[in-house]
Chains A and B, each alone.
Chain A
């Protein structure tokens, strides 16, 4: 089975695109990431990741509407491709399998 490797950041970005569904573009993704993970993310890092994911074929994009708050410039809106979706599912399956393989007391207890 062909496997695509994703970096941790790429994975998170890809997931965020999925979360945002229709409105996934640079700033929205950055904001959502900051909100969900609580870490500070730079726009350029997100753009770089989006660019890379699109090159890998996990994202596709089209140009959206221009708005005044963007100085009359258009957004690039991203959606997850089938390949992207499958990769996410794969990762999730591997994780799940791994979680399931851990003995009940295999991990030190933490309080959430």
Chain B
């Protein structure tokens, strides 16, 4: 028989009072049947609709207030009921509830920690008023017509003032210079109080234009912001710094107090500002007026009129007028560049948005800590995947269990539960579990943050009670609960009570589980990608650690004597000590952050000019670092440059096939020609990210630091030697601090980012595998239970234990194998991208994938074998007896 149009029925259901619906719909249905016979379907439809519309009458619209109607599914009573049943169900199915809780807690914790880190990094310098109008004056530098152009996060000293004068409409321009200094606080006739340079971070002291405080707004606690930096010898301190220098004096009394920088530059406090207390790269605390420079011995170090050189300490910020676009100044900057840089050195100013300061690694400077945006995004991705894996566990376990709960659903439906309220009941179970997981995460987050300080950015704190964190947690809870609970609740609530109560639920449960299988494949794909990533990152780091650098790093320290002076004397004294094998005067060790590039010319068949890296050291440099001589000899002792030793890349670039061919050839450096007396094997000067450049070794005036090779291996021996060296240092420099670095540690620092990535990937892998395995364990438990009878019958018919274990494991292993096929290309692509950053790298070999696959299969096998072996060992009599 034809049915009336569905939408017309819906329409009536929409407006008609619920207690009248059934009889009215029934009557209309009956009438419809008659109308179909009399007037055909179209006519009957029309009449049906007409009849429906005629029911728009007060009596049909009015809802009954009687209390025997079913309460709304969001009624407080119902919500209480949801919670109660949820709690009962969670305690009833303890294993799966625990697995889910554990997985979700891990996922939520990972998400929360990663959120805190990324949110912290992304919030840098986002609190300044008018921040979108604040730019840093940066530029493109080019040292001579033949050199490459480099982006520079700093400007020549004379540029800010000139830009302010010459580029119209630029708004406020404020220059400042980072300086380092020991701080002295005069104390009447007594010895001044002293704060060592090494205790004061390089990001703290600046010499600043008064306009600095027009661009960046501080809260002034004392002093007049209008005049505080206008005169020479004025100083603005942050509150914390003022407290550090002057203790608990009232702030007003601190005004006018004296502070001495650079031993003799005495300035007086003219203002005190409050720190921002928010994430910022502008962590300056001592602001010396820039007028001080011209009036003191600072002018010897900071030449404010310098055009032909550039220092990373020279900074300038600009606040554009409202409505101005940074691009509109390009032409003016070009013109400015043409006007002022007519000699060898070229510089074109540009503007860098304040928002990029924390992220753009191209524009380096002395104070900002750069965060690596791709890493941050990668971490967010990792967080999402881990949470997804945990949610998938939940989906899988609850759909697998749905058979057990089908009866419950049937009874509930018979007793009048609507589908909506069933969905809500299941969702509230998920929500309850998620809430538990979130509270576990909240308890874990602080211990985790403090335990992993080396991985997290400094200054990161966790504030549970901030609005943002609260919103994030709320969003996370809702998302997770929906993600994990939505599908299972739809499946469970869809069961037809008539079927489930008759006991046909097993038929219902067997929707072949394609979705479940797909989800397991997804979980293992993610885990496998993480495993492959870990293996390759670890291999690359191993390669870096173990590849021959071309020189030795064992037991070598650098003593930073350059600034203190008296290097000769110190070198002599240290050389005498027992436990010291050799001492070399040098600028920097062969490998490190700092290096010097210069130009060299060779007049062979044709003139060759090369960018060459200069390794500055005396005649002890090559033997101390054990750099291998390929041809010729070491250069002889002298006070100034007479002879050169070059590396083999240099020789090759000059066109010599054999290293020995380069001997006794002359190269020009700084207008003078020097003979090549030796060729050494290539050694790495920078991290493995960059290729080995041509390099020479020779003595230059910069060789004022010391490299010291210590004897002995044990920590005690080294410690004793270091103490003796420090004694000598104290004898030479009684009032200066002895600072040194171990070379191998310095080199390890070059790979800090990679070390962090490695640890991060390892942790992510561990978490992902752990969660996936728990899901697998739960599923294995469940299938083993479900197939108990089948297994028993198989055993009765003569199946072996091994055969049954294989039977139970095969399904899962198939899935892991599919996951491997999916993961391999994705991981290969991702790791190729990562390795692109290295000039020297490992190959991605096939066995890495095989190993990862074996690992995954092994882990999966171990996880499920417990359950499958238990099922296989079960006595068939027991399980078959009860029917």
Contacts and interface: CB of A to CB of B under 8 A. Distances in A.
Given A43-B31, A48-B57, A52-B59, A73 B25 contact: yes
Given A42-B54, A44-B54, A47-B55, A75 B26 contact: yes
B30 A27 contact: yes
Contact of A43 (B1, B4, B28): B28
A67 to B, nearest CB: 8
Interface string B22-66: 111111111101000000000000000001001101011000000
Contacts of A42: 51, 54
A26 B24 contact: yes
B23 A25 contact: yes
Given A43-B28, A43-B51, A73-B29, A51 B1 contact: no
B29 to A, nearest CB: 4
Contact of B59 (A51, A63, A68): A51
B30 A47 contact: no
A47 B29 contact: no
A66 B33 CA distance: 15
Given A43-B51, A47-B60, A27 B31 contact: yes
Interface in A45-85: 45, 47-48, 51-52, 63, 66, 68-71, 73-76
B62 to A, nearest CB: 10
Contacts of B3: 71
Interface in A16-51: 25-27, 30, 42-45, 47-48, 51
Contacts, number: 66
Contact of B55 (A44, A69, A76): A44
Contacts of A26: 23-24, 26-27
A44 B57 contact: yes
Interface residues of A, number: 22
Nearest to B56: A44
B59 A70 contact: no
Nearest to B26: A73
A71 B59 contact: no
Contacts of B57: 44, 48
B57 to A, nearest CB: 6
Given A25-B23, A71-B3, A71-B25, A44 B51 contact: yes
B22 A73 contact: yes
B59 A73 contact: no
Contacts of B4: 71
Contacts of A69: 1, 29-30, 33
Nearest to B32: A71
Q: Which of B27, B29, B51 has the most CB of A within 10 A?
A: B27
Give the one of A30, A43, A52 with max B CB within 10 A: A43
Nearest to B31: A27
A30 B51 CA distance: 13
Given A42-B51, A52-B59, A47 B26 contact: no
A27 B26 CA distance: 9
Contacts of B59: 47-48, 51-52
Contact of A70 (B20, B29, B51): B29
A76 to B, nearest CB: 4
Contacts of B27: 25-27, 43, 47, 70, 75
A68 to B, nearest CB: 8
Nearest to A74: B22
Q: Which of A26, A44, A48 has the most CB of B within 10 A?
A: A44
B51 A75 contact: no
B23 A76 contact: yes
A98 B517 CA distance: 86
Contacts of A75: 23, 26-27
Interface of B: 1, 3-4, 20, 22-31, 33, 51, 54-55, 57, 59-60
Can you list the 10 inter-chain pairs with the closest CB atoms, starting with the nearest?
Answer: A73-B26, A70-B26, A26-B27, A44-B54, A76-B23, A71-B29, A44-B55, A51-B59, A27-B27, A27-B30
